[in-house]
Amino acid sequence: MLSFIVADSLFGPFFRKYFYYYDSYPVVIQIAVFLTAVAISATIIAYLSIIFRRGKGYLTDVRTRKINTFIDNLITDNIIFNEEILAGVPPQDVKLDLEPFQKQVFSQGWVKQALVDRLIYFANSFSGDRNLLFKRLFVELELEKLSFNKLKSFNNSTKILGLVELTSMSVAVADVLILPLTNSRNRKLRSEARIAYIKLSKNDPFKFFDDATEPLLLWDQLELFKIITTTEGLTIPNFARWITYSTNKSIVSFCLKLVVHYNQHAAIPSIVKLLDNKDHYLRVEAIKCLGKLKADDIEEKLIAIYNNQPLNCQIEILKAIGRFSTGKQIQFLRGEFIRTSDFDIKKNAARSLINHGRAAKDIVQNLIDTATADGAIILKHCMNPLIKY
Amino acid sequence: MKYGVYIELFGEFYEGTVFIYGTTLLLIYAFLAIMSLVAVRKFKVLDSRVDYTLLLNSIHTPGISVIAPAYNETITILENVHSLLNLNYPKYEVIIVNDGSTDDSLEKMIAEFDLIEVDFAYNERLKTKPVKRIFRSTNLAYSKLVVVDKINGKSKADASNAGINVSSFDYFLCTDVDSILDRDAIMKLIKPIMEETDKRLIAIGATLRMANSCVVDQGFMQKVVMPKQLLPRFQEIEYIRSFVMGKMGWSTINSVPNVSGGLGLFDREIVINSGGYDPNSFGEDMELVIRMMVYCVNYNIDYSIRYIPLTLCWTEGPSTLRVYGRQRSRWARGLAQLMYAHRKVIFNPRYGKLGLIVMPYNFVFELLAPIVEALGIIYYIIIIILDAVNWPYAILLLVFVYSYAIMISTLSILWDQLTYHTYKTWREILLLCFTAMFEMIIYHPLIVFFSLKGYFNFLANRKHSWGNMQRQGFGQAAQTRAITASN
Amino acid sequence: MPTNNIAAKKILLIDDDELILKVMNRILTKEGYNVIAVNNGKDALEKIEAEKYDMVITDLMMPYSNGFEIISKFKQHPNALNVPIIVISSVGTESAIKEGLNIGADDYIRKPIMPDELLIRIKRLIKE
């Protein structure tokens, strides 16, 4: 009690004088007091949400781990060790026992979602007959309804998740559902929709190649390439069509990669036309593609345009000649190696000479003996099997 | 009382300026906090469903050169090289630049990895101290490894440049040999490059943290533990704030000022064309990034620099005041050097965001901040002596600034927790938040002091430092690491 | 179907993917193999030191030591004599497959795995 009186007599006047008259403070101080209150509450909320998230995260982790082990065992027992599959029944004729997957636990939303996630994980880990069974299980348990519901969401991220689930499990989706999404303003959604369209659409799956205006990003190309080259039953068109007519450079360059993969020699004339394209990055792609296709009848033409090309195209031409290895241009390569002072040209000329193997062996040896120290070391560099690049 | 008039005049001017200064800074922080939250949440949702194995199966996956300079790291070098050789990525090379070590680290590597000297066509596009030998492994299991032996260049910059000259891919990842990388680091960093729409992504970084108390086994992160010592713990908070909130926030408006030397993926062509790392700089990582941006503006390259809110690298932070002070003075000196060298860019509209956002922000709120604060303290001391303080207002303002600072730090920790549960126990996070409350009175004065020391060094040695450089913290960092690793 | 002549065959299975490790372990055990499963390169190397196996099946990208390193260290070890090695990996490019076979793997199987295919390849390589 005494201490209270002492404290009051010490601090009381001070507080009464200044702090009690909030209204009389200058505006700046009023704002400061207000924002202090905001900052302190924000900090407290942040604390609480850290603790809350942590606790929730911990519980979810424990729960998910438990349910995942349960689901994994269920899938392993019923699908991996499916007796009919082991007995040699074709996967489309196997009668799936759905009962274990329709137990009470699976009525909960999050358990259902966990089942979807694990099925996708299994499908990504195991191919062949089992893979088909995972996908059949997904459909027969009507889990695709969950994914279709996600497609209807207003949230783009949720839509993307739905699409990814459907594509992973190869569920057929009506064109009317996907096509509008292939033109979505959300980049990620657009690209996932295209992947889904190629994989899941029954009609002309390469349709969007015709009217895609914005660039096809490298990452999307990676995904599309995988889908195109691994989807069974996809009719592969002649990609020359887009190489000739598409105004979208990234579509053209993507088609060049596909042409190489499918070894479409029929596309060579349309690729040769690209050599006159104004964009030198695209010319590089075209020359690279011709080299990989071993289209050695255009070797003469490449040599003819060589001198008018920028450095990156010249390097690509040298590489292509190495890939052709016809033996007709050994003197050209040797000449370039001696003439140039550019490191990269010299290195690529040397590498292409060495790629000729026995046909250029004497010339290479002769060059090592007569070239400058720098030149000789470039040749040795390219000949050394320990150095890859 | 003639002085009183001057002080009063100065006081009015100072209070006015500081008011605007402080308000702007608070607004910027609020902006960064909101922007980074949006970006972090978006990243988290989308990243959870990304199939990174696409990169493993494609022949179109871009190749990456991992460059790690090493100076006298004999104790940990083998473990760390092993861990660099074990990243999850199908197409990469590891370039270890032995920067004239005086210990046996090179001999150890030769024996462990079956290295032999090769005739390597070395293209010195960036001028460095001479490269003596280049080694490759005869063991196929280590075919990714390239070891460069060069004459000591007294800086990490010089060694990194030699590594860049040797590298064969279009992108290189720059790190320290004693940093511990997440095994997915390359995959996570290359993805944004492959997703950039119409700009050229010239550099990308991710969050760095303190490795001080973490459990590391044979160069692999086994368990992330919050630093037990106070100084590294303060640095952990500072790093989280500066990466997760600062750089992530700036990334949303393409105004990232710096990609840390501990971990960054760079566009090799742009780096070489802009001249590589500057061995004379005291803050070579930021200096390079600024110079790359200047280069891009000059050559009309529509560039971008990005950040991803994942912790992909752990590094040993200084744990003694002496080492810490040296590091911070060096950084401050580097910043002063950088601002002086590129002074024409500051507030120059020709340089777009670089000239109007990145450089002005770093000049006004990074470079000048310690000076403004120091002046403020002096001013307060004077008016206290003159008994001209309006105590209640002063206290209210102080409480406000203090609570705001704590809020920003706490929010950064929360944002960081959104992406990934870094620590194993909730106690660690609460302790971290608790430590954040004392940052302003214990840790912050240190920064101010060492920064001012750095500026002083800059002013005192400006001419001198151009030609003749002291060994930078690179060797210092190596030492601290060696000491802790042997415990 | 499990037969007596493979009953005692011991296989070291190395993969950091817990699901594949778990499922393959069950499949191989059901086939009558004695499976020792580890999920990282460090444990793998310890196991190799400790005893002799009839076959090693390894993933490529793992903590501590990658598959190439394990194979190359294993090949130098006396326990490795005539022990077949199969690589299972999600890296599926031609250059990686070539590298794996060059280092000394006897077979290279791409993920996702076809369990039956893997079993046939194992049976072919483990001979009496």
Q: For C43-86, give the DSSP string.
A: HHHHHHHH---SEEEE-SS-SSS-HHHHHHHHHTSGGGTT--EE
CA–CA dist B255, B358 (Å, integer): 6
Residue B462 pLDDT exceeds 70 = no
Inter-chain contacts counted by CB atoms under 8 A, chains B and C: 57
Whether residue A76 and residue C26 make contact (CB cut-off 8 A), yes or no, is yes
Confidence of residue C7 (pLDDT cuts 50, 70, 90): low
- The radius of gyration computed from the CA coordinates of chain A, to the nearest angstrom, equals 33
Which pLDDT score is estimated for B248?
93
* Mean pLDDT, residues A29-45 taken together: 87
Q: At what angle do helices B391-419 and B230-240 cross, to 10 degrees?
A: 80
pLDDT class for A12, splitting at 50, 70, 90? low
User: Which domains does chain C carry?
Assistant: 4-125 (3.40.50.2300)
Contacts of C20 in chain A (CB under 8 A): 125
**Looking at residue C96, what is its pLDDT?**
87
- SS3 state of residue A126: strand
Output the pLDDT for position A252: 94
Q: For position A11, what pLDDT does the model report? A: 54
Euclidean distance between CA atoms B283 and B270, whole angstroms: 19
Q: Among partner residues C72, C92, C93, which is closest to B140 by beta-carbon distance?
A: C72
* Residue A119 burial (C-beta neighbours within 10 Å; 0-12, 13-18, 19+): buried
Structure tokens at A98: 């759905």
Question: B143 in contact with C at a CB cutoff of 8 Å?
Answer: yes
How many Å lie between the alpha carbon of A76 and the closest alpha carbon of chain C?
7
Partners for A (CB, 8 Å, 3+ pairs)? B, C
Return the SS3 of C108. Answer: strand
pLDDT digits (tens, 9 = 90+) for B271-320: 999 999 999 999 999 999 999 999 999 999 999 999 999 999 999 899 99
The amino acid sitting at A15 is: F
HEC string for chain B: CHHHHHHHHHHHHHHHHHHHHHHHHHHHHHHHHHHHHHHHHHHHHHHCCCCCHHHHHCCCCCCEEEEEEECCCCCCHHHHHHHHCCCCCCCEEEEEEEECCCCCHHHHHHHHCCEEECCCCCCCCCCCCCEEEEEEECCHHHCCEEEEEECCCCCHHHHHHHHHHHCCCCEEEEECCCCEECCCHHHHHHHHHHHCCCCEEEEEEEEEEECCCCEEECCEEEECCCCCCHHHHHHHHHHHHHHHHHHHHHHHCCCCCCCCCCEEEEEHHHHHHCCCCCCCCCCHHHHHHHHHHHHHHHCCCCEEEEEEEEEEEEECCCCCHHHHHHHHHHHHHHHHHHHHHCCCCCCCHHHHHHHHHHHHHHHHHHHCHHHHHHHHHHHHHHHHHCCCCCHHHHHHHHHHHHHHHHHHHHHHHHHHHHHCCCCCCHHHHHHHHHHHCCHHHHHHHHHHHHHHHHHHHHHHCHHHHHHCCCCCHHHHHHHHHHHHHHC
Query: Binning pLDDT at 50, 70 and 90, where does residue A242 land?
Result: very high
Chain B partners within 8 Å of C89 (Cβ): 56
- Pairing verdict, β C55-58 and C10-14: parallel
Residue entry with tokens 């559902």: A177
Q: Which residue among A72, A128, A131 places its CB closest to the CB of C19? A: A72
Neighbours, chain B (3 or more CB pairs < 8 A) = A, C
**pLDDT per residue over A296-325, tens digit each?**
899 999 999 999 999 999 999 999 999 999
In angstroms, the CA B55 to CA B186 distance is 10
What average pLDDT does the segment B220-239 reach?
Answer: 92
pLDDT for A359: 86
Give A134→chain B minimum CA distance, Å: 19
Lowest mean per-residue pLDDT among B1-10, B85-94, B203-212, B416-425: B1-10
Q: Is the per-residue pLDDT at B52 higher than 60?
A: yes
pLDDT at A15: 54
Q: What residues does B265 pair with on adjacent strands?
A: B173, B204
Q: Report whether the peptide linkage leading into residue C112 is cis, meaning its omega lies within 30 degrees of zero.
A: yes
Percentage above 70 pLDDT, chain A: 94
Closest partner CB to B54 (pick from A40, A161, A223):
A223
- Judge whether B279 and B158 are in contact, CB under 8 Å: yes
**What does each C-alpha distance from A130 to B442, C2, C116, C123 come to in angstroms?**
61, 21, 10, 20
Per-residue pLDDT at B468? 35
Comparing C-alpha atoms, which of C9, C14, C2 is closest to residue C83?
C9
Closest-CA distance, A324 to chain C, in angstroms, reads 20
Whole-number Å distance between alpha carbons of C15 and C17: 5
Distance, CA of B165 to CA of B128 (rounded, Å): 9
Is A81 in a helix, a strand, or coil? coil
Question: Is the ipTM value over 0.85, yes or no?
Answer: yes
User: Is A128–C115 a contact, with Cβ atoms under 8 angstroms apart?
Assistant: yes
Q: Domain spans of chain B? A: 1-49+196-487
| Inter-chain touch B140–C69, beta carbons under 8 Å | no
CA distance B22 to chain A (A): 12
- The whole-number pLDDT of residue A210 equals 85
d(C-alpha C90, C-alpha B2), whole Å: 81
Query: How far are the Cα atoms of A48, B107, B176, B301, B437 from residue B218, in angstroms, in the given order?
Result: 37, 19, 16, 42, 35
Please give the average per-residue pLDDT across B116-124, as a whole number: 92
pLDDT band at A14 (very low <50, low <70, confident <90, very high): low
Asked if pLDDT for residue B482 goes beyond 80, the answer is: no
Question: Mean pLDDT score of chain A, rounded to an integer?
Answer: 87
Q: Under a CB-based contact definition with an 8 Å cutoff, are residues A79 and A126 in contact?
A: no
The model's confidence at residue A13, banded by pLDDT at 50, 70 and 90, is: low
**Contact call for A388 and B123, based on CB within 8 A:** no
For the stretch B241-279, pLDDT in tens is 999 999 999 999 999 999 998 899 999 999 999 999 999
Chain B, 172 to 191: residues with Cβ < 8 Å from chain C are: 183
Residue B178 contacts residue B294 (beta carbons within 8 Å): no
Cβ burial B77-109 (10 Å sphere, 16+ → b, else e): bbbbbbbbbbbbbbbbbbbbbbbbbeeebbebb
pLDDT for the residue numbered A261: 93
Q: Is the pLDDT of residue A165 over 70?
A: yes
Q: Are C96 and C67 in contact (CB under 8 A)?
A: no
Residue A327 has phi, psi (to 5 degrees) of 90, -10
- How many angstroms separate the CA atoms of A192 and B16, rounded? 54
Q: In this model, does residue A219 exceed pLDDT 60?
A: yes
Residue B159 pLDDT > 90: yes
- The lowest-confidence range among A235-244, B42-51, B268-277, C112-121 is B42-51
% of chain B surpassing 70 pLDDT: 94
Question: Alpha-carbon Rg of chain B, whole angstroms?
Answer: 23
- A66-104 pLDDT per residue, tens: 999 999 999 999 888 888 888 888 888 888 888 888 888
Position with higher pLDDT, C66 vs B11: C66
The model's confidence at residue B238, banded by pLDDT at 50, 70 and 90, is very high
- Contact residues, chain C, for B220 at CB < 8 Å: 63-64
At residue C1, the pLDDT reads 45
The model's pTM is 0.89
| pLDDT(B460) > 90 | no
Q: Which pLDDT tens digit goes with each residue over B337-384?
A: 999 999 999 999 999 999 999 999 999 999 999 999 898 888 888 888
For residue C34, list its beta bridge partners: C10
In this predicted model, what pLDDT tens digit does every residue of A95-124 receive, in sequence order? 888 888 888 888 888 899 999 999 999 998
Q: Residue B285's closest CA among B205, B228, B369, B230? A: B205
B396 → closest Cβ in A33, A46, A188: A33
Q: What one-letter code names the amino acid at C128?
A: E
pLDDT (0 to 100) of residue B486: 31
With a cut of 80, say whether residue B478 has pLDDT above it.
no
In the structure encoding, which two tokens stand for residue A59, read together?
Answer: 């519980």
Task: Give Cα B354 distance to the centre of its chain.
Answer: 18
A22: pLDDT confidence band, cut at 50, 70 and 90? Answer: low
Cβ pair C88, C81 in contact under 8 A: no
Chain mean position to CA B43:
21
| Full strand arrangement of the beta sheet holding C55-58 | C34-38, C10-14, C55-58, C85-89, C107-110
**Nearest residue, CB atoms, C19 vs list A125, A127, A130:** A125
Q: How many CB atoms lie within 10 A of CB A374?
A: 13
How are strands ordered across the β-sheet holding B303-315?
B115-117, B131-137, B145-150, B92-99, B64-70, B171-175, B263-267, B200-210, B303-315, B180-181
User: Residue written as tokens 């992909």?
Assistant: B312
Interface test with B, best of C90, C97, C110 (most B CBs within 10 A): C90
Q: Letter for the amino acid at B24? A: T
The larger pLDDT score, comparing residue C105 to residue A3, is at C105
- Identify whether the C-beta of residue B114 lies closer than 8 Å to the C-beta of residue B142: yes
pLDDT in tens, B174-225: 998 889 999 999 999 999 999 887 899 999 999 999 999 898 888 888 889 9
Residue B28: Cβ within 10 Å count: 15
CA pair distance B206, B219, nearest whole angstrom: 19
> Which amino acid type is present at position A190?
R
Select from A72, A80, A123 the Cβ nearest to the Cβ of C115. Answer: A80
Kindly report the average pLDDT of chain B as a whole number: 88
